[in-house]
Amino acid sequence: MPRLVLPVSEFRLQSCFASSLASHDIAMSCIIEQKKALRSRMRRELRLQYESLAHEEDPLIQKHVMDASWYKRSRHICAYISCHSIREVGTSQIISDIFNSVHTDHPKSLYVPWIQDKQSHLKFFHIGSSEDLIANSMGILEPIPANSDGSPRSDVMQMNESIDLILMPGLAFNHAGRRLGRGGGYYDCFVKEYLLHAAKMGWKSPLLVGLAYSTQILDEVIPTDTKDVPIDALVSSSGVLRFSNHPLLNVD
Q: Could you report the per-residue pLDDT of 80-129, keeping only the tens digit for each?
A: 999 999 999 999 999 999 999 999 999 999 999 999 888 888 999 999 99
pLDDT, average across residues 12-32? 67
Query: Does the structure show a pLDDT above 50 at 6?
Result: no
Which residues fall in the annotated binding site? 35-39, 81, 88, 179-187
Q: What are phi and psi of 142, to 5 degrees?
A: -130, 160
Fold that domain 8-250 belongs to in CATH: Rossmann fold (3.40.50)
pTM of the model: 0.89
HSE toward the beta carbon, residue 175, CA cutoff 13 A: 4
Neighbours of 71 (CB within 10 A): 23
- Which amino acids are annotated as binding site for ATP, given as ranges? 35-39, 179-187
Question: For residue 145, what pLDDT is reported?
Answer: 84
Mean pLDDT value of segment 165-178: 98
* Per-residue pLDDT tens over the stretch 205-242: 999 999 999 999 999 999 999 899 999 999 999 999 99
CA–CA distances in Å: residue 30 to residues 37, 178, 208, 217, 225 = 11, 18, 27, 22, 11
Write out the binding residues for substrate.
Answer: 81, 88
pLDDT for residue 137: 82
